[in-house]
Structure 1
Amino acid sequence: MTGRILHLPDADGGLAPYVPLSAEARLPRSAGAPRSRTAYAAAHVVADPLADNAPGAPARIDWEATLAFRHHLWDLGMGVADAMDTAQRGMGLDWPATAELIRRSAAEAASRGAALVCGTGTDHLGADARDLDSVVAGYADQLEVVEGAGATPVLMASRHLAAIAQGPQDYAKVYGRLLEQVRGPVVLHWLGTAFDPALAGYWGHTEPADAVPVVAELIREHAARIDGIKVSLLDEALEVRLRGLLPDGVRLYTGDDFNYPALIKGDGARHSHALLGVFAAIAPAASAALHALDEGDTAAYDALLEPTVPLARHLFARPTYYYKTGIAFLAWLNGHQPGFAMVSGLQSARSLPHLAQAFRLADAAGVLTDPETAVARMRRLLAVAGVER
């Protein structure tokens, strides 16, 4: 037991002994997609450790590890949401690397008939977007890549549109034009300012609650071309309100990494589906929980997911947009990537005490799928930081 004791940073600025709960993984590995809910895990990218992935440098990807992680999620019955903000869109993952990621992921998904959605946006435009027409053209460029690869597009919230739009009518124009040209149903995306402050005032209203009728009307008008909408506002009541306004056949995909257990379980009348960054970190628990829900076993569902909530709330703590660091950290602990490195050097975005607490909470939630490897890697991180005992 002594060899497994770690001395981890604590809240008082010191070190405290910590004994991991178990030497063996504690979660079953479920196979097959859940029946009662549609679930996507938003996957990150693995940086090439031998490349210059410094801030501002072009992204260089470890393709073998990146694609293997997607197969890991598919093996657990999850769909994969790729090229989303989790993959560092707007925070180091440039458009050339994103386009290559979409093509490669789509080919892998097609090889096994797996579910895949991919983000489309306007992040390749830079300062070239000066009016609504250029925003629509930017989306169209990326739609061509995603649809050409055979994936379902997610129309991600656009920083350019947020900066240019003068009110709700401009959002209606842009999305209306895009939805008229898509080849099949797409997923809309409402990303709150906790995830990206540049999206303040999206849909033409400062307060998200005031934007709910605007979004609901847009969806009703174009329902045949909308599979669903991902809502990432970290506001349970607002999501439930919007969910109740959606027409039949249009899903609400929760992106609420704080309140997902209750939102997915639902209120007996309606429920949310899932498109979550945290599901990539807790995939075994999420998969087992959704299969329990298929069988009507809500007690098992609660028992599997509730212990993951403290971990999720920690990973997505303010500044929330740095949650990607914790996702990559847990992937490294679980052996899904050779090193704890991220494009644009983002592995430095969270402190050692933050990562140490993520380790404790992941252990408590039972999502360290190879605990011995996780302990060994945590010990190496502590050694690099100069605090190993």
Structure 2
Amino acid sequence: MALTLKLPTAAGSLESYRLRGTEPVRPAQGVKFNRIAYSAAHVVADPLAAVDPWLTAAVDWDTTIAYRRRLWSLGLGVAEAMDTAQRGMGLDWKASLELIGRSLDAAKDVPGALVASGCGTDHLNIDEVKSVDDVIRGYEEQMAAIEKLGGRLIIMASRALARVAKSPADYERVYDRILSQAKQPVILHWLGEMFDPALAGYWGGKDTAASMDTALGVIAANAAKVDGIKISLLDKVQEIAMRRRLPAGVRMYTGDDFNYAELIAGDGYGSEPTHGKSDALLGIFDAIAPAASAALGELAQGNLERFHAILGPTVPLSRHIFAAPTRFYKTGVVFLAWLNGHQSHFTMVGGQQSTRSLPHLAELFRLADAANLLEQPELAVSRTKALLAVHGVE
């Protein structure tokens, strides 16, 4: 018998929705990918902690690490302590470092597990940062802490640097300094202002093209220390343009949660393999992990049509989850993890479960069903009905 429930619409009414009844996506086991694929993973809050959630991050460590084990089991790497984990948006540096340490420890038991960890300056009091030297010291402190644990670095964009830098030369000075000290090649991260308004004008250019020139100059000057760059500008044209200009061997990790399918598939441009395709470092891969794994497995076997057939239906879901205000996308990621039984509650660090409306979450439910991503449909319906009841919808 088909599952049905009443869901709110954007117009404020209720309508009956009948689930499609299709089998959820189930990836094949043991398939090796021909792309590197990191999922920026969320943290699971502890809903029983006696804290003020807007002020103190309480993390359910066991469930958080279990979720990472799931991602590794699907062949995905974990980009740890990034913005998907509410880094700087509920999760402070102290908790982030503990998360990184726990994730790295867990990865030791998983053959081939990939972990790269966010390194930033979010422990600094931004009002006390007066110069790029202060920013450099901030980065160096976090670099040392993560590398002491044996972690590889993702150099996150710095709100402090965006605030004090006066020109592209200031960005060049900071990045040249920190890259020269990195023990292993790093992933750079260019996060657009749609994800974090405090990062507007990053790299110091008067427009995106000028900022890209600065970033590419930094990479060219330090190519041996750069594994790749993740750009999250939600603009496939800009990503492809930058990808084609990267030094040989430096990867483009797509952070485009609107256009990832076609960017990962690639266009085969040029003789340098990394110029014709993107690898992946995506927050949406947390929410669509089974589909991402299944699609990447098909791509590795040359089944491009099947790759798009699996991943294509997830794109409308991702565009909805990452709709403006984009920085609230974490709510949709955690909502889907709850619907699929990967955590027992819909509570987030910082109380962020309140950042999206009930109609938004209802549409997310519909799109997840259309993408075959409701892993346990009966559970998803039961939990959605419980959420509706809390909001007065019986």
Name the TM tier (shorter chain): over 0.9
- Hey, what does 2:294 align to over in structure 1? 288
2:176 alignment counterpart: 176
> What stretches of structure 1 of length at least 5 have no aligned partner?
none
Hey, what's the Cα distance between the residues in 2 that align with 1:47 and 1:20? 29
Structure 2 vs 1, CA of residues 43 and 65 (structure 1 numbering), >3 Å: closer, same or farther? same
2:166 corresponds to: 166
Aligned residues: 386
Which residue pairs with 1:11 in the alignment?
Answer: 10
- The aligned amino acid for 2:377 is P
Which secondary structure state, in structure 2, belongs to the residue aligned with residue 143 of structure 1?
A: helix
* 1:105 CA displacement: 0.5
Out of 345, 349, 370, the residue aligned to residue 351 of structure 2 is 345
Deviations along 1:332-365, one digit per CA (max 9) or x if unpaired, are: 0011111000011000000000000000000100
**Cα RMSD over matched residues?**
1.2
* SS of aligned partner of 1:313: helix
Gaps of 5+ in 2: 270-275
Q: Say if 2:322 and 2:329, in contact at 8 Å, map to a contact too.
A: yes
Residue 156 of structure 2 is matched in structure 1 by: 156
Q: Which amino acid aligns with 1:125?
A: L
Verify the 8 A CA contact 1:30 1:284 in the aligned structure 2: no
- The amino acid across from 1:19 in the alignment is R
Q: TM-score, normalised by structure 1?
A: 0.97
Distance (Å, rounded) in 1 between the aligned partners of 2:349 and 2:338: 14
In 1, are the aligned partners of 2:10 and 2:360 still within 8 Å (CA)? no
Q: Which residue identity lines up with residue 44 of structure 1 in the other structure? A: H
Distance in 1 (CA, whole Å) between partners of 2:39 and 2:51 is: 25
**1:31 offset after TM fit, Å?**
3.2
1:143 match: 143
Is the 2:263–2:277 Cα contact (8 Å) retained in structure 1? yes
Cα distance, 1:33 vs structure 2: 6.3
Q: What is the deviation of 1:55?
A: 4.9
Q: Give the drift of 1:145.
A: 2.0
2:54 touches 2:351 (CA, 8 Å); kept in 1? no
Q: In the aligned structure 1, how far is the partner of 2:29 from the partner of 2:224?
A: 31
1:74 aligned onto 2:80: no
| 1:29 counterpart residue number | 27
Q: 3-state SS of the aligned residue for 2:154?
A: strand
Q: Structure 1: which amino acid aligns with 2:194?
A: A
Q: CA deviation at 1:321?
A: 0.2
Is the contact between residue 92 and residue 344 of structure 1 (CA under 8 Å) also seen in structure 2? yes
Moved more, 50-59 or 153-162: 50-59
Partners of 2:205 and 2:156 lie apart in 1 by 18
* 2:94 partner letter: P
SS of equivalent residue, structure 1 residue 309: helix
Task: Give, in whole Å, the separation in 1 of the partners of 2:7 and 2:366.
Answer: 9
- Secondary structure at the aligned position of 1:194 is classed as coil
Aligned equivalents of 1:361, 1:86: Cα separation in 2: 20
CA shift in 2, pair 1:256/1:387, >3 Å = same
How far has the Cα of 1:52 moved from its partner? Answer: 4.3
AA aligned to 1:240 is I
Paired with 2:380 and 2:124, the residues of 1 have a C-alpha distance of: 40
Residue 56 (structure 1) shift: 3.6
Aligned to 1:355: 361
% identical equivalent positions? 55
Answer whether contact 2:321 2:329 (CA < 8 A) is retained. yes
> Which one-letter code corresponds to 1:11 in the other structure?
A
